[in-house]
Structure 1
Amino acid sequence: MSQFVEQRRRLAADMERRGDWPARSPWIRQAADALPRHLFAPDRLWHWDGHAYVPVDRGSDPERWAAEVYAGPDAAAVTQVTGGLPSSSLSCEAIVVDMLDSLMLEPGHRVLEMGAGTGRNAALMAWRVGPGRVTSLEVDPALAAHARARLNAAGLQVAIEVADGAAGRPHSAQFDRVIATYAVDLVPWSWVAQTRPGGRIVTPWGRLGHVALTVAEDGRSASGWVQGLAAFMPARGTGTGPGRDFRQVRGSAEAAQERPITRDLQPLREDLHLRFALRVALPEVQITTAVDDDGVNAWLHDGAASWTTLSALGGGESIAHQGGPRRLADELERAWDVWLAEGGPELYDFGLTVEPDRQYAWCRDAVTGPRWPVQEALGQVRLAG
């Protein structure tokens, strides 16, 4: 619609300036231009005002509504709030584009999507692969109805089914591509089984970022690289709340151990590649950082019973106070040392392998590189600091 032309142009220009439009997939920008975000956004969005999510209605405040839809490349528009927390969104444009680029779609591909949401992602894929080639599963009947209506209004033939994406779509022919729009801690084996050998699966993983997996020719595994770092909403039923925070874990307990920290803690706050590696090695440990006049301070906890504070003393010195059955500062430093011994790999040097009875992350090489078992707790890791 004409009233959103300027907002659309601004978002596209910001994407262009940052290099977010992928050169190997020029079709994505064409599809995004043909199927703009506002066509799929509901009339009520939700804005965080610093205290709570408040409604923004298109009918009463169209300019503010449009500002939510086109806030920027890295801004998602919250479309549903459940229990005071966001439970669905119109994903930020940069991530939508990056994931579709990772999917490597070609005309004629059969695609299975987990999580229809607003229907926009399915629309972009249908623009590429053709009518009747995309099936999207959505566990929420209301969201499914919204997506179906918006896709029909856009003249796109996409099958929207109300179903739990964890099971995929049993009893159907294998798909060329599978994509999820929500984060999973463990990639369901059903997704691998329902993807043809050589096919690709792109999914947000552990709320750390997203991975692109290729199914092996024998169909007995899928493996691939981390594609980017971002936070995603989890699958329904896995918990969207913050869980126990540092104060709840520590309670009134006194530290059981105190010891000096001799290393510079600045990378713990500023180096995203280090932080990603630490999340892989210590998936259940949450790390929050802050800076004061003495340097970088950090708070660690495992969501259960163990906690650590790393307090800057000035002059490059820090002290660790640790409580609970685990010594999280010790574990942190060991994982940090492993990362350094590997040459400080970037997050793009990490990958994931999925087999019927196990999943593991690896660095640089799926066969010879170091490995870390993937567990359900990976989903509790959040970006912080």
Structure 2
Amino acid sequence: MEQHGVWSADSPWLREAFAALPRERFAPGRLWRWNGLAYAPVELADDPDGWFGELYSDADASVVTQLTDGRPSSSLSAPSVVADMLDSLRLEPGHRVWDVGTGQGWTAALAAWRAGPGLVVSTEVDERLAEFARSRLGAAGLDVEVLVGDGTAAEPPGGGRVDRVHATYAVEAVPWSWVAAVRPGGRVVYPWGRLGYVALTVADDGQRATGWVQGLAQFMGDRHGPAQPATGSAAYAAVRGDAEPEARRTVDRDLAPLEDWGLRFALRVAVPNAVLFTARDADGLNAWVHDGHQSWATFVAQGDGEPSLLLQGGPRRIGDEVLAAWAQWEDLGRPDLYDYGVTVTPDAQWAWQGDPDTGPRWPIGHPHPATAHTLPAANTLPAGISSR
């Protein structure tokens, strides 16, 4: 963590909390490691060096702690991301905290270390995980209440408003109950969809929350929410099947910027249900895109100075949508992810770039990508609260 420069000067308490509550105290005796074909168990009892190696391999690496039907269903998030999200929460002693998605209880423990006894309530949908977290929190001597329930659909626990909501699983649209649970001026920090996390500040009237993207990371999704399109070549192959291209044309642009995470994040904002991955061969960079349903596209490098090919199929021309979003990103001056933010109201949510009131906007939760002009004009919306 020190070598990565993770510790925030604004939150020196984090380093103390991590030392007092090390990750291993909240890890089960069986972890899961991807071996290239499947997830294989790593047992503390049989292979302690491997177990600790998996747990502390990288400050930027999450660790799979539970499988369901052969796929990860719970994990310990990367330490660097946990630290940055808690720093973004701006947590102070005495704050009341709703921790949504207890998991193994580590983030609830760190929040309780800072806030104080009896001030953190955590909600977990999986009864087995909730019981595990209770045992580990109790062993650490922390007074944290762990409730079983769907945090996305639940009302705030305990009555009254909290100062902070901290979510540990990804949602595309923020449940309004999270915002309604927070006092004016309080904060909601949450993972946004497949990529990134956001810190919202609740307005004085409690009727909206606005804030900036804080970082880049991938999180497990809401178990009961809409399924996110899977990533990887197998998911693309499942969408395309053996279909031949329905549209084919050349693309007279270098595909290399598709490896730029600033562009990748901009595509995530403007075409939120598109999954994109890349790989290089002797001709250059190739890219594959799909929406998890029926639409797909392939960008094929041809080498020797020839323009790339765009092949597409399905009801949407998702490759054209990617190119349009790419052009818009360039027109905006190639902003990075920290230039984007989110605004949430009881009736609508949208992402914005540059400025919450005057910048371009993209709706969140809309079934298809749309550009800023589909939303109300900036001057018809109330003034925003923004923070980093």
Which one of 247, 250, 260 corresponds to residue 257 of structure 1? 247
Paired residue type of 2:165: V
Separation in 2 of the partners of 1:245 and 1:62?
35
Tell me the residue number matched to 1:364: 354
C-alpha distance 275-241 of structure 1, shift in aligned 2 (>3 A): closer
- Residue 250 of structure 1: CA displacement? 2.1
Paired residue type of 2:205: D
Separation in 2 of the partners of 1:76 and 1:303?
24
Paired residue type of 2:330: L
Separation in 2 of the partners of 1:311 and 1:241?
22
- Which stretch shifts more, 40-49 or 100-109? 40-49
1:88-103 matches, within 5 Å, as 88-103=74-89
Aligned residues: 363
Separation in 2 of the partners of 1:87 and 1:377?
25
Query: Unmatched 5+ residue regions in structure 2?
Result: 369-388
Q: Does 1:207 align with 2:197?
A: no
Paired residue type of 2:335: P
Tell me the residue number matched to 2:277: 288
Separation in 2 of the partners of 1:91 and 1:377?
29
Paired residue type of 1:320: L
Flag the structure with higher helix content: 1
Paired residue type of 1:279: R
Separation in 1 of the partners of 2:155 and 2:63?
26
Q: Does 1:242 align with 2:211?
A: no
Contact 2:121 2:157 in 1 (8 A): no
Tell me the residue number matched to 1:180: 167
- Residue 42 of structure 1: CA displacement? 1.1
Contact 2:229 2:291 in 1 (8 A): no
- Residue 249 of structure 1: CA displacement? 2.2
Secondary structure of the corresponding residue to residue 141 of structure 2 = coil
- Residue 247 of structure 1: CA displacement? 2.1
Which one of 316, 325, 339 corresponds to residue 349 of structure 1? 339
Q: Does 1:227 align with 2:217?
A: no
Tell me the residue number matched to 1:335: 325
- Which stretch shifts more, 49-58 or 249-258? 249-258
After superposition, give the CA deviation of every residue in 1:197-242 in whole Å (9 maximum; x if it has no partner). 0000000011211000000000000110000011000112234783
Contact 1:41 1:118 in 2 (8 A): yes
Q: Does 1:299 align with 2:288?
A: yes
Separation in 2 of the partners of 1:321 and 1:57?
46
Contact 2:189 2:198 in 1 (8 A): yes
- Residue 248 of structure 1: CA displacement? 2.5
Contact 2:230 2:275 in 1 (8 A): no
Tell me the residue number matched to 1:136: 122
Paired residue type of 2:284: G
Paired residue type of 2:281: D
Which one of 272, 279, 297 corresponds to residue 268 of structure 2? 279
Separation in 1 of the partners of 2:51 and 2:228?
25
Separation in 1 of the partners of 2:330 and 2:107?
39
- Residue 357 of structure 1: CA displacement? 1.1
Tell me the residue number matched to 1:268: 258
Query: Unmatched 5+ residue regions in structure 1?
Result: 1-14, 379-385
Q: Does 1:118 align with 2:104?
A: yes
Contact 2:229 2:275 in 1 (8 A): no
Residue identity (%): 57
C-alpha root-mean-square deviation of aligned residues, in Å?
Answer: 1.6
- Residue 322 of structure 1: CA displacement? 1.9
Which one of 45, 50, 56 corresponds to residue 42 of structure 2? 56
Separation in 2 of the partners of 1:26 and 1:96?
14
Tell me the residue number matched to 1:5: none
Secondary structure of the corresponding residue to residue 142 of structure 1 = helix
After superposition, give the CA deviation of every residue in 1:319-367 in whole Å (9 maximum; x if it has no partner). 1122223222322221111111111111000001111111100001111
Tell me the residue number matched to 1:19: 5
Separation in 1 of the partners of 2:58 and 2:300?
36
C-alpha distance 58-376 of structure 1, shift in aligned 2 (>3 A): farther
Q: Does 1:218 align with 2:220?
A: no
Contact 1:352 1:360 in 2 (8 A): yes
C-alpha distance 241-68 of structure 1, shift in aligned 2 (>3 A): farther
Paired residue type of 1:215: V
- Residue 74 of structure 1: CA displacement? 1.1
TM-score (norm 2): 0.90
C-alpha distance 330-242 of structure 1, shift in aligned 2 (>3 A): closer
Q: Does 1:321 align with 2:311?
A: yes
Separation in 1 of the partners of 2:188 and 2:60?
23
- Residue 170 of structure 1: CA displacement? 5.1
Secondary structure of the corresponding residue to residue 245 of structure 1 = helix
- Residue 143 of structure 1: CA displacement? 0.7
Contact 1:233 1:240 in 2 (8 A): no
Separation in 1 of the partners of 2:36 and 2:366?
30
C-alpha distance 115-231 of structure 1, shift in aligned 2 (>3 A): same
Tell me the residue number matched to 1:108: 94
